[in-house]
Amino acid sequence: MAETLRRVGIVGGVRTPFCRSNTFYADLSNLDLMTAALNGLVEKYGLKGAHIDEVVGGAVVTHSKDWNLAREAVLGTKLAPSTPGVTMQQACGTSLQAAAGIGAKIATGEIECGIAVGSDTTSDAPIVFSKKFASRLIQLPQQKTAMDKVRVFKGFSPRELAPQPPDVAEPRTGLTMGQHCELMAREWKVTRQEQDRFAFESHRKGAEAYRSGYMDDLIVPTAGVFRDNNLREDISLDKLATLKTAFDKSDKGTLTAANSTPMTDGAACVLLASEEWAAKRGLPIQSFLAYTQTSANNFVAGEGLLMAPTIAVSKILDRAHLALQDFDFYEIHEAFAAQVLATLKAWEDPEYCKTYLGKDHPLGSIDRTKLNVKGSSLAFGHPFAATGARVLANLSKLLAEHGGRGLISICTAGGMGVAAILESATRAEARAAA
């Protein structure tokens, strides 16, 4: 173990194009997508045959066969078979949380390098039978005679065969994430027009990122797909205004299919390393992972399911001795336009900051021109576990190109939030010298 904490370098990352569910990746599994992303990273950084100390990540929507997903994905790549794969999950924060764990081990000297990865597909969502019918199937092999087997199905009804898709509602409240976000929009007085404008800007910036070539080295073509199929270059505010609400059909509803992220398939990964390991392989460090933070709130009592990142950001700012305004780039995951806008309003609100963040004054506003400058989840899509790695790779590249400091904020199911601070090499060196 290192006597002093080492800097945690981010070499870079890649991702598959993100596709709406049941489109181009309809026949691919989490394992297929995760393996594709990892092989893209291997190719990009010349890691064929290389031993990586840990590959950590997972998926949110999984089958029972995915219990060893990260390790199985490693074995499907050109990495050395000696590379361990660790499967974990923290909803939409999965791959960023994976990076946090890898970073801590690099900082203490336990490992030299690691890959954070996330994958999700709702095209391959597990469909199960009713509990009653499943119980019959479990009992069946235990029966000794044909008559015993027949008795297992006594009272059988065809209704037992009705498939049961994954439940998307929060177990503690019975409300979907979209329904929770409608409540947040109402509480923070986030209008439909504000949400549509925000979604429009995300698509506009994402389209420009592709046109400019910025995305070229971040995307691994997969299954004949070369770009995200949710992205709309021809999007217009007039078209957005015509869409019906998706979660609240009353006149109070404001969330639509356009200002909310769609069900999405895809995978993303990021390579982290000590400076020594990267130097030995001739790999430049794009940026440094300086701080990470995970928080949760009491959403069951009404604090707002997707408001926990406000807490994580407040805590990470305190640890870093920084103000909310001390950043050159902000990457706030766009699960919903309303969720981002509510978060920004909360940081500006004295009462919220006092009650929930323990602050004597609000964190304040940010420069919106620095927010999600290359587009984000509303434009690209949101394969739950993959989003953290996508955001991390994007911000790291921005800092490598422009320098400075960046803040990440990601909301998750279960009333949790994950935050991170990244620094460019020049910024990190200046901080170390101070």
Q: What is the rounded distance in angstroms from the CA atom of residue 384 to the CA atom of residue 200? A: 21
What is the 3 state secondary structure string of 138-156?
A: HHHHHCCCHHHHHHHCCCC
> Hunting for tokens 């065809």 — which residue is that?
158
Average confidence (pLDDT) over 172-191? 96
Catalytic residue from among 19, 63, 92, 203 = 92
Active site annotation includes 382: yes
**pTM for the full model?**
0.94
- Find the helix packing angle between 337-348 and 350-357, rounded to 10°: 90
Catalytic residue from among 19, 113, 269, 411 = 411
Residue count (the chain):
434
pLDDT band of 425, cuts 50, 70, 90:
confident
pLDDT for residue 222 = 98
pLDDT for residue 156 = 87
Say if residue 433's pLDDT is above 70. Answer: no
- DSSP letters spanning 33-95: HHHHHHHHHHHHHT-TT---SEEEEE-SS--GGGGGHHHHHHHTSSS-TT--EEE--BTBTHH
pLDDT for residue 159 = 87
Q: What is the rounded distance in angstroms from the CA atom of residue 228 to the CA atom of residue 283? A: 28
Q: Per-residue pLDDT tens for 370-382?
A: 999 999 999 999 9
Q: Which two tokens stand for residue 241?
A: 């205004």
Q: Are 342 and 186 in contact (CB under 8 A)?
A: no
Average confidence (pLDDT) over 34-48? 98
> Hunting for tokens 């391959």 — which residue is that?
124
pLDDT for residue 131 = 87
Average confidence (pLDDT) over 381-410? 98
Average confidence (pLDDT) over 125-129? 83
Q: Are 77 and 49 in contact (CB under 8 A)?
A: no
Domains in the chain and their CATH numbers? 177-213+289-433 (3.40.47.10)
Average pLDDT, the chain: 95
Active site annotation includes 180: no
How many other CB atoms sit within 10 Å of the CB of residue 147?
8
Catalytic residue from among 180, 203, 333, 382 = 382
- Among residues of the chain, what percentage have pLDDT more than 90? 88
Q: Per-residue pLDDT tens for 337-365?
A: 999 999 999 999 999 999 999 999 999 99
Q: Max alpha carbon distance in the chain (Å)?
A: 81
Active site annotation includes 203: no
Beta-carbon contacts of residue 411 (< 8 Å; ≥ 6 apart): 92, 93, 305, 306, 307, 308, 309, 333, 335, 339, 343, 417
